[in-house]
Every structure is written in structure tokens, then in C-alpha cells.
Structure 1
Amino acid sequence: MTLKGKTAIITGSNSGIGLGVARELARAGADVVLNSFTDTEDDHALAKALGEEFGVTGRYIKADMSKAEDCRALVEQAGRCDILVNNAGIQHVAPIDEFPLDKYNAIIAINLSSAFHTTAAALPMMRKAGWGRVVNIASAHGLTASPFKSAYVMAKHGVVGLSKVTALETAQEPITCNAICPGYVLTPLVEAQIPDTMAKYDMSREDVIKKVMLERQPSKEFATVEQLGGTAVFLCSDAAAQITGTTISVDGGWTAL
């Protein structure tokens, strides 16, 4: 399929999953708007290079996803939003009774509330254009739980709920909303953790990946950012026009357990 003529905004997209999704959307022909909370020459150069690689327009817009006004301004500044990918997220691990309040507030704001604010700003644009796709990057933790990740699990369950509400409110329009629920994904951040984990457990790289990192992922393989990007492109296709309000797990069987 082609997404030529469509504009996609991807939050938290100057690295990792967000950048991977942006690349696949650009490959399919969409103009892309990258985003993060920084505003460096490298950020703008990354967006420009991505656009040039695939013959589309690539822009970078700074916005702090912990701030409601920044979330809405991102969409407004983009000027058009046919495809919205809510990907921005952070993590912190601690027991509930020891969870730092500032970390809790930040996770809820960035991982959950930002998706509400960007969606609220994007829907009028989609309605005006007569077409729209909202793709929320949730998590296997949007469908299940792990100890010590209370804020993250709460936020990702909330993203799944928001996806359902958005789908119901747009059900009779040419707009869909779905959540992709990845398991463990091989990103530069995860890759960087492997050597330290090898040293900590005195294990080989292969054993660290299969026995520690992917303990709960039955396939014992990471999902890739390209696979997540391909899933997002599919959800934007005509084949997915009647797929709305649901979750698609890309987790190597994690949530089948």
C-alpha cells in the first residue's frame, strides 16, 4: 500500500521504537513528523535525512510529552495529522510503597496522558480530512502485569482503554484507533544493557538474552522495530479499515501464557 499524501506524527521518535515506526511509515510514502523533548541540530538532521531517504518530507518538532499544552501544540504546529502514533514513554521500577512520586507522575503524564492530549488535537484534523488512523504503542504490560512496574502497567492498561474509547467515538467515521502491544524489543537502549547483564550474571550473550531478558517471551527472540513499524503500516492500510478498538500483540507469545 501507499501512504503518499498522508502526514504521520510519531511521538518520542528520535530513537528506538518510535524511529523504527517512523521509518516504515516513510517507506510507505507518508510525510513524517518526528518528536522528542530535545531540540538539537542532530534531531532536525535526523528528520531531514529520513525524508530524503524515502522521498518524503521529514520534520522534527520539539514537544515535552509530560506537558498537556506541548502535546496539543505538537499536533497544531504540524498543521496536519492523518496518522498519529502515540509512542512516547519512560519507565521506572520500584515497589508501590517506595515508588517516587515524581517518577509516578512523569510516567502517567508521558505514557498515558500525552496520548489523550495528542488524540484530542488530532481528531478534528482527521475528521476534516475525511480519514485518520490512531496507533497507540501500548505494551504486553497493557494486557498483563509484572511486579514493581505499577505506574507503567497502569499507564499501558490506560492506553488500551483509551484506544477502545477513541475507536467507539469514531466508529461510524473513516477513522480507526488500535493499540500495538510489544513484548521485549531490541532497541539501542536494550542492546546497551546486554554487556552489563552478561557481567552481572556471568553469562554469555545468548544466555542473557534467552534466560534473563526474554524469560517471559516464549519465542526467545526480540521483536524488532521494523516489525512494529510494519504492523503500524498495516493498521493504516485499507485491509485494516474494520480493525478498530483492539490490540495487536507483537510479543513472541508472551500474552498467550
Structure 2
Amino acid sequence: MNHSLQGRTALVTGSTSGIGHAIALAFAREGARVMLNGFGPPGQIAAARAEIAAIQGGETPYSDADLSKPEAVRKMCADATAALGQVDILVNNAGIQFTSPVEEFPEEKWDAILAINLSSNFHAIKALLPGMKARNWGRIVNIASAHGLVASPFKAAYVTAKHGVVGLTKTVAIEVARTGITCNAICPGFVRTPLAEAQVPPLARTHGVSEEVALTDYLLAKQPSKRWVEVEEVAGMAVYLCGPNSGAVNGSALSIDGGWTAA
């Protein structure tokens, strides 16, 4: 590790597992103090906090804020500021998914996905940007998706939200362009997480093929690399965007998708 984030503080949403936890780990290893947020079994949350604490020393702050509620997002940001002293880096990673044809899409699922995947980003940025402006330094990283750039069927709410995240990213970037703050989006393809890997066996059974074929020919059909994106690859990009020599990267939607959006 290069300790490129030494002395920085970071709030990473959805960081008790998956991509968010990988980013939090990478930040801690680079010297940042990190606050976690997310849901999950108590044992999983305790393990995630302990893993970060072992790296950064001292107790790892944690918020169980329900990001579908604006007031909870604002309180999380206030708690992070109190726990860390200030928040230099905000990573908006939390997200949920649901698939259905548009005409059958449950309205409550639409509302929940838009609230968590998009609106929570806005509320967190709004809450923390004034402090970043006062210090004339900050990094905002929004975890969008390849679906922030292109669409797939049956994912109306997710695609809409992630396109919105890319638009929000560009707008904030323009507004802060003459400050020491940047705002960028990372757009991963299919990332290897337990939830994603769990989709492979049912696909294999449905199509009567091996799990390897189910992965490459069905789940990763749009991903030319035919391999998972690893959480560490996404975390590495986040570290770069928050570290030295990244100040001119602003308003970008950076693809980590094995060539998906190049096709």
C-alpha cells in the first residue's frame, strides 16, 4: 500500500458487504479513516467493522441508516462528520435491484429503487458538500453501473436510477469544477459478489447447461471478457479517484465492464 489516503476520512454507503466493503477496506489500507453503512446480520456487520478496525486502529464507526429516507441520510452524514471530525470522501454505493416487465413492475419497488439507488446520493452529496467546499477539497464517487450507460430489459427502475446517478455526477462535477472537489461515477459490469454468483446455478438448471456455460453464455452474455469484474478492481478505481494526481478527473463515468459498453 502507498498510503495515498493518509489523513483522509471517508463515508462509504452499503459497505458491510460486496463492492462497498471492498472499497472501505482499500481506503483503510491506504490510510483513510472510514465509516461504514449498511444492513445485514449482526454477525456480518460486526465482522466487517472488526476487519476495518484491525487496519485503521480503534473502533470503526457504523450507521444503520435506511437510505430510502432522506432524514436518515442526513443523520448518517451528520453522524459521520461527528465521528470522523469531517468527511473528505463520500462513496455512494448502496443499491437494490428488482426485475419485472414495465407493465407489471410493482410501484413500491420502483419507489424504493429510485430512493435508495438515486435520491440517497443526492441527499448525501447535499449534506456533505458544504464542508468539502469550506475546506476546498473533497472526493465524491458514485457507484453507478454499466446500466447507467446502456439499458437491459426488465430493469426499468434500476436502469433509470443508474442513468440518473450518471447525470447527477456530471451536474455536481460542473458545479465544483473550480474548486478542489471532484465528482465521478464508476460503472461496473457484472461484479463477483455472493448475490451475483447465486444467480448462476438457477440459470444452469433453467437452460440445462453447466454452470460455466450459464455464466459465460447467459449471465455474462453482454460482457465480452466473459469473466466477473472483481470487487478489488472497482475498489482500485475508487482509490485512484480519491488519491493524488486525480484532480483533473471530474464528471467522468468510468466503465469497468469487460468491454460491455464498448460493443
Q: TM-score scaled by structure 1?
A: 0.95
Check 1:119–1:113 CA distance in 2 against 1; reply closer, same or farther (3 A cut).
same
Contact 2:17 2:48 in 1 (8 A): no
What is the identity, as a one-letter code, of the residue corresponding to 1:135?
V
Deviation string 1:125-181 (CA, Å, 9 cap, x unpaired) is 212333100000000010010111111111000000000111111111100000000
2:61 and 2:139 map into 1 onto residues whose CA distance is 19
Deviation string 1:10-51 (CA, Å, 9 cap, x unpaired) is 111111111111111111111111101458354244213212
Q: State whether structure 2 residue 196 is matched by structure 1 residue 190.
A: yes
In the TM superposition, residue 101 of structure 1 has moved relative to its aligned partner by 0.5
Contact 1:32 1:51 in 2 (8 A): no
1:167 and 1:215 map into 2 onto residues whose CA distance is 33
For residues 101-116 of structure 1, the aligned pairs below 5 Å read: 101-116=107-122
Contact 2:39 2:45 in 1 (8 A): no
Partner of 1:234: 240
Partner of 2:88: 82
For residues 35-114 of structure 1, the aligned pairs below 5 Å read: 35-37=37-39, 40=42, 42-55=44-57, 58-79=60-81, 80-114=86-120
Contact 2:14 2:95 in 1 (8 A): yes
Q: Which runs of 5+ in 2 are unaligned?
A: none
Partner of 2:23: 21
Question: What is the number of residues matched between the two proteins?
Answer: 257
Partner of 1:202: 208
Deviates more, 1:30-39 or 1:144-153: 30-39
Contact 1:140 1:181 in 2 (8 A): yes
What is the identity, as a one-letter code, of the residue corresponding to 1:155?
A
Partner of 1:123: 129
Runs of 4+ in structure 1 off by over 4 angstroms are 54-57
Q: State whether structure 2 residue 220 is matched by structure 1 residue 220.
A: no
Contact 2:110 2:157 in 1 (8 A): yes
SS in 2 for 1:76: helix
2:21 and 2:92 map into 1 onto residues whose CA distance is 12
Q: State whether structure 2 residue 141 is matched by structure 1 residue 135.
A: yes
SS in 2 for 1:239: coil
1:255 and 1:224 map into 2 onto residues whose CA distance is 17
User: What is the RMSD of the two structures over their aligned residues, measured on CA atoms?
Assistant: 1.5
1:201 and 1:227 map into 2 onto residues whose CA distance is 30
Deviation string 1:67-102 (CA, Å, 9 cap, x unpaired) is 001111111101121110001111111111111000
Percentage of pairs with the same residue = 51
Contact 1:29 1:56 in 2 (8 A): no
What is the identity, as a one-letter code, of the residue corresponding to 1:76?
A
Partner of 2:36: 34
Contact 2:114 2:161 in 1 (8 A): yes
Q: State whether structure 2 residue 183 is matched by structure 1 residue 177.
A: yes
In the TM superposition, residue 55 of structure 1 has moved relative to its aligned partner by 4.3
Contact 1:81 1:122 in 2 (8 A): yes
Contact 2:16 2:39 in 1 (8 A): no
2:10 and 2:143 map into 1 onto residues whose CA distance is 14
